[in-house]
Structure 1
Amino acid sequence: MLRLRQLVLAAHERAPVEQALRQLLAAPSAHHDPGVGRFGLTNAVLAAGCDFVEVVSPSAPGTAVGRWLTRNGGDGGYMLMVDGPPTITAPDRLASLGVREVHRVELPDVVDVHLHPRDTGGVLLALDAVDPAGSWRWAGPAWTGGSPTCAGGLLEVTVAVPDPGEVVRRWAALLDVAAAGSDCRLQLDHGRQHLSFVPGAGDVAAVTAARLALPGAERRAADVGGVRFEVVPLEEKT
C-alpha cells in the first residue's frame, strides 16, 4: 500500500498556525520534535485521523525552509510525505530515476528519504517505509513502534506547479503508480486518496489545498498557513 501520510506547511511563525490547525482538526495536542533543530527549525505535528499535518518554521538563518518562504512570498504547503513499501526507498531505484537524495535516515522502524525538489519538479517529497505498518515515529511516542486506534485522514491534496503534465509523469514514476488519465491526478491508497497537480501562478511549487475526512467531524473549511483546508465527516467522504 502507498499512502499520503503527512502534509507539511512552512510558516514564518509556527505558533499561530499550530493553534489554527488544532482548532481545524480538533487535535488535542501536538508533537514537537527537538530533532528538527539540527535543520534550524521548530515544528508541530498534529494527528488528522491516521494521517498528519505538520508546520515547520525557521529558528535560525539560512535554512532551506526560510529560502522557500522567501521564494513563495509567504506561508504555504512545503512538503509531502508518503508511506510505502521498502522498495520505494531503495537507493538504486531512485538513482535509476535520476533523482538526488537530500536526506536519508535508516532506523529500525523507518527508512526516511527526502528527494531534491529540482529533480521531482514539485514540492519537497519524502518517501518513508515504516515497520510496523501504521506507525509514524515523526508524530511522537504514541506512534512509535505501533499506532493508536484511528480512522480517516487525508483524502486529496492539490499541488500548484509550473508544468503539471511533466510533474505528474515524474511523480507517477517516483511513486510507482499510474497516472489517472489526462487530468494530472494520481491515485494512492487503492484509490482512496488523490494527489492533483494544477498550474501555479509562479515558478515555485506549493501545496494549495487539502481535503480530509475525520470521524464525527462537522463539515468545515478554513485557510491555514497558506493552504485551503476542507474537513468532511468520515461517514461522507465527499
Structure 2
Amino acid sequence: MTAPRLRQLVIAAETLEAADQLGELLELGAPFVDPGVKEFGLENRVYALGDQFLEVVVPMADSAPARRFIDRVGEGGYMAIFQTDDLNALRARVDGMGIRRVWNIDLPDISASHLHPADIGGAIVSVDEARPAGSWRWGGPAWRDNTVPGRLVSAAMETPDPDGLAARWALALGLTVDERVLYLEDAAIVFREGPVEKLAAFGLYRPDAEAILSRAEAMGLDVDGREIRFAGVGLSLLE
C-alpha cells in the first residue's frame, strides 16, 4: 500500500454565500452541487483544484452533525478526505484500533469510510478508494472541465496533545510521524499545539497568490502575511 493522498478538505459554514465567496476569492471554476449530502442534512459546493477538491458544507437541518459542530465551535475545518489504494486493509486496521466507522459505502467507482471524530480526533476523517485512481465521484461528473491550476499542499491540526493526535492519525493511516508531521504522497498533515482540537488551516498553492491576497483585503477578510482567515479556517497561500 502506498502512502495515502490528500484529496479533499471541507469547511462547515453557516451559509451558501460563504461557498460562493470562496469560489470568488480563489477564482475557482463552477462548483459541483452533490445531492447525496442531503443524507447528512447538508447542502454543499465542491470546487476542483488540480485533481484535489475544496468543499463547503452548510447544515440545512438542526439534526445535521455539521449543525452541532458549528454550534459547538463555530465555522471551521470540518473534514479531511484521504485516498488510499487499499481501503480493506485500512478498515481492518481502524477496526482493530477501536475507531468506529460511522458511514461506509461501496460503489463500483469508489468505496469510502468515515471515521468517528471522537475516536480519530480533531475532525471527521474519510478514507476513500477510487476506481480508477484518478477519478473522484465526489467532485461531480464535470470536475475536469471546471478545475483550475493549483493543489492542496497541507492541513494543520491544532490540539492540546499534538504528539498523541499525530500518533493516532499515523496509526490509522498507516504512516510514521516525523516531528509532528505526517507526510502523505502529495501533501503533509501538521500537528501543532492549540487550546481546542480542530482542523485549523489549509495550505494551498495557486499561481496567482498575490492577486488572491489583494482580493481578500478588498473583500474585507482578515489577512496576516500570506494567510487569509476564511470561515474559521486559515487559508495559507504557499509559494
TM-score where L is the length of structure 1:
0.86
Q: Secondary structure at the match of 1:223?
A: strand
Alignment-derived partner of residue 183 in structure 2: 187
The residue number in structure 2 matching 1:20 is 21
1-structure distance, mates of 2:131, 2:76: 30
Q: Unaligned regions of 5+ residues in structure 1, if any? A: 233-237
2:100 corresponds in structure 1 to 100
Percent identity, please.
36
Distance between the aligned counterparts of 2:22 and 2:89, measured in 1?
30
Within the alignment, does 1:84 sit opposite 2:90 as a pair?
A: no
The alignment of Structure 1 onto Structure 2 pairs a total of residues equal to 221
Matches within 5 A, 1:7-86: 7-13=9-15, 15-72=16-73, 74-86=74-86
Note if contact 2:122-2:199 (Cα within 8 Å) is conserved in structure 1: no
1:209 to 164, 180, 201: 201
DSSP-derived class of the 2:92 partner: helix
SS across alignment from 1:43: strand
Q: CA deviation at 1:23?
A: 2.0
8 Å contact from structure 1 (residues 5, 83) kept in 2: yes
Structure 1 counterpart of 2:166: 168
Give the SS at the match of 2:209. Answer: coil
CA RMSD of aligned residues (A): 1.9
CA distance in 1, matches of 2:25, 2:231: 12
Match of 2:233 in 1: 227
Is the contact made by 2:87 and 2:127 (CA closer than 8 Å) also made in structure 1? Answer: no
CA contact (8 A) 1:22 1:28 kept: yes
CA distance in 1, matches of 2:23, 2:89: 31
Give a deviation string over 1:175-220, Cα, whole Å, max 9, x none: 1111113xx111111xx41101122223xx3221111113x32333
2:29·2:148 contact (CA, 8 Å) conserved in 1?
no
1:235 match: none
- The whole-number CA distance in structure 2 between the counterparts of 1:83 and 1:130 is 7
- More deviation in 161-170 or 150-159? 150-159
Query: By how many angstroms is 1:90 displaced?
Result: 4.4
- Indicate conservation of the 8 Å contact 2:90/2:172, yes or no: no
8 Å CA contact 1:121, 1:161 repeated in 2: no
Q: CA deviation at 1:140?
A: 0.4
**Stretches (4+) displaced over 4 A:** 147-151
SS at match of 1:141: coil
1:178 match = 176
CA distances 1:56-77 after superposition (whole Å, capped 9, x unpaired): 11111111111111110x2100
Displacement, 1:95? Answer: 1.1
* Alpha-carbon distance, 1:152 to partner: 3.6
In the TM superposition, residue 88 of structure 1 has moved relative to its aligned partner by 5.8
Does the aligned pair in 2 maintain the 1:186–1:196 contact within 8 Å? yes
- 2:117 maps to 117
Inter-partner Cα distance in structure 2 for 1:97 and 1:176: 12
